[in-house]
């Protein structure tokens, strides 16, 4: 599915980011880029052309992360959002543009969301 593509994971908790990487490796993910904050993700902007998909953790009323998601999407990068905050759907007006997974995420749901994000780009 990912056939060697680079993945960007933006997640506050490094162990969760590693678990996401573990889920994506059997899907063919190549290099994985990690960022804990929006600022760290912005520091990786020069590498954005290499990114095949981005997985971004968001919280309700997290405008910076949503701006980042929009910027990545505008750059042609498929985006999947994750959250542990079930109220996040109510706090982000343009949420419907991206698949949203509520943690803990079953591996099958993650696989489906990645597939949907990649298909939407095509």
For residue 54, give the CATH number of its domain.
Answer: 3.40.50.2300
Residue 20 lies in a domain: yes
Write out pLDDT tens, residues 42-97.
999 999 999 999 999 998 778 899 899 999 999 999 999 999 988 877 666 666 78
pLDDT of 119 over the 70 cut? yes
Residue 77 lies in a domain: yes
Residue 31 lies in a domain: yes
- How many domains in the chain? 1
Asked if 11 and 36 touch (Cβ cutoff 8 Å), the reply is: yes
Residue 103 lies in a domain: yes
Residue whose structure tokens are 């990645």: 114
Write out pLDDT tens, residues 12-52.
999 999 999 999 999 999 999 999 999 999 999 999 999 99
Residue 55 lies in a domain: yes
Q: How many whole angstroms separate alpha carbon 20 and alpha carbon 10?
A: 10
Residue 1 lies in a domain: no
Q: In terms of residue numbers, what domain contains 58? A: 6-121
């Amino acid at each position: 599915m990912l056939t060697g593509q680079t993945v960007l994971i933006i997640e506050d908790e490094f162990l969760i980011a590693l678990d996401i990487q573990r889920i994506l490796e059997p899907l063919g993910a190549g290099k994985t880029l990690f960022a804990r904050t929006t600022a760290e993700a912005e520091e990786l902007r020069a590498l954005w052309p290499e990114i095949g998909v981005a997985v971004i953790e968001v919280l309700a009323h997290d405008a910076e992360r949503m701006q980042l998601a929009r910027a990545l999407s505008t750059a042609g990068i498929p985006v999947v959002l994750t959250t542990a905050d079930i109220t996040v759907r109510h706090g982000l007006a343009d949420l419907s543009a991206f698949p949203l997974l509520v943690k803990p995420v079953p591996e099958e749901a993650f696989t489906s969301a990645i597939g949907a994000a990649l298909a939407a780009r095509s």
